[in-house]
Amino acid sequence: VETVRQELIANMQAVIEKTGIDPAEVGDIVVGSVLAPGSQRANECRMAAFYAGFPGPETSKMCEIASPCCFCS
């Protein structure tokens, strides 16, 4: 699980660096997950976003899209 958190933080930091966005300007963060227990993944993503430099929930809202069983063609 720790690797997942570290990867989330690194990926979110990479988005900030590559796009040059100001994290304070981000109003909504949408993440997707597969087979995460309960709301655990959303909480992990919220903390990863915070540690990556995005502001707290008072300015940036987090939304999780869970897709436990998806067949794409």
pLDDT tens digits, one per residue of 9-68:
899 999 999 999 999 888 888 877 776 666 677 778 888 888 899 887 777 777 777 766
In the chain, where does DSSP find H-type helix?
A: 2-19, 40-52
Residue in the structure block whose two tokens are 């989330």: 8
pTM over the 0.75 mark: no
Residue 27 zone, left/alpha/beta (φ > 0; ψ -120 to 50; rest): alpha
